[in-house]
A and B are shown apart, each in its own frame.
Chain A
Amino acid sequence: MRFIYTKTFARFFAIFLIVALLAIFDAQGYLGYIKDGFLRGFGLIANRVSQVTNIGKSVFSTLFIIKDLVHENAALSQQVDQLAFDNAQLKSAQNENISLRKALNYKQQAKLNLLPVEVLTQDPTGFSQTIILDKGANAGLQIGQAVVTAPGVLVARIAQVSPTTAAAQLITDPATVINAEVVDSGAKGLIRGEHGLTLALDMVTQNELIKTGDSVIASGLSGDFPRGLLIGNISAIRSQVTELFQKAYVTPAADFRNLKFLFIVL
């Protein structure tokens, strides 16, 4: 009981009051510009340091993997040829799709309206799967907007917006839930993050046929993300006859360790 009369307790109490006041100001949005200034300054310095680290990392990793590079190069060349062929076929199918929709008087599927952004920094401790972007409310960003990489791969959702920066929650965050669809079979389910490690496709009924390697996209059912954004590929399936639903693990298509230039879907 005597502790509450000590200088130490007084210091703790004073700091607790300061923190409570700052929390209230932040909740009201009064600290937006201070936050933005700090994140920009921090991001600028941290990026310089990480560039040096990445240079050192690439030098060391090249020394270790140099003999695998030849095989990987050959495999990638073959993959590029296959993808070019698939791309040509898909373009042809797309044109046919547009014509048929026109003929049926369907509403034209609008192309995505994208705003380029840059990642300022990422949470270094992993408390939250959050990235800070260099644009905010002044550029038209709103909470709930999807964040993608250039080829339409879903990466995150905007969780908080300040005047000139925004915080986006990655899809690997456990709090993010996405209505998803398996491309080949059309099976519907929910994608949940597994704390930065992988994604889980849950609530897939037992009668749906899914297999490893299948692509998973956003279904657009609840309107939270536009339909068709690629999420990843199924890497493993857990299915037991006694359970109502089967569960699959999805490897994200985006490389979350190297996020730099992204796009907001407006």
Chain B
Amino acid sequence: MKIFIWILAVFSLLVLQNGVLAPLHLMPANLILVLMIMALLFDGIQTALIICLSGGIMLDFLAGANLGQVTLALLFTALISFTLFELFISREPNWMLVAVCVAGVTGLFAVGFALSNWLFGSLGIGLDLISKSFWTNQFPLSLIFNLIFAYPVAKYFSLTQFVYAKSIRH
């Protein structure tokens, strides 16, 4: 049940991103990554992995890339972030902490994405999605929009948790 609800939540978030943000030209935000960060901070690794796998596969389909290019980058980010959060982050209700985590993990994801792109490129499969302008344009814009949408995504995350809690109570 948990897996189904979170897959639906990820799908709905992508529909909202494509249907609302894209027409308003706010495209560089990576809401799936922000949702994964919220899961790592406020829930646990299991939820984060569900988001990572389902969101990554959907993003791979939408980007026209070979399956696994974005998913591996998200998985790499989740693993490193989980380790760092366990070692250094105290779970307290502090928005500054959330902002720092979002900014740091966005940078980590950019590195993971570059590594995944290199791996798939060296295997001769998938599209080459990294260029010089990825670091000069895409990454800074992604950082800004991820920070802007951190609060709405956090609310969306708690709404999904509420829906899940209601569903298991029935």
Contact = CB atoms under 8 A, between A and B. Distances in A.
Nearest to B124: A27
B122 interface: no
B46 A124 contact: no
A137 B30 CA distance: 31
A38 B125 CA distance: 21
Contacts of A39: 61-62
A22 B56 CA distance: 12
Contact of A48 (B19, B21, B52): B19
B63 A195 contact: no
A123 interface: yes
Interface in B8-22: 11, 14-22
A132 B61 CA distance: 9
Interface string A228-248: 000000000000000000000
B interface secondary structure, majority: helix
A127 B69 CA distance: 11
Given A19-B71, A130-B127, A195 B133 contact: yes
B73 to A, nearest CB: 9
A71 interface: no
Given A125-B28, A125-B63, A11 B49 contact: yes
Interface of B: 11, 14-25, 27-30, 32, 45-46, 49, 52-53, 56-59, 61-68, 70-72, 75, 78-79, 82-83, 113, 120, 125-129, 131-134, 137-138, 141-142
9 smallest beta-carbon distances between A and B, as pairs: A49-B19, A167-B64, A23-B68, A195-B133, A174-B131, A26-B67, A130-B64, A124-B18, A46-B18
Given A8-B82, A23-B125, A127-B65, 14 more contacts: A8-B45, A11-B46, A19-B56, A42-B61, A46-B18, A50-B19, A53-B19, A121-B62, A124-B22, A130-B64, A159-B127, A169-B127, A175-B128, A195-B131
7 contacts: A8-B45, A23-B120, A45-B15, A46-B19, A126-B138, A175-B131, A195-B131
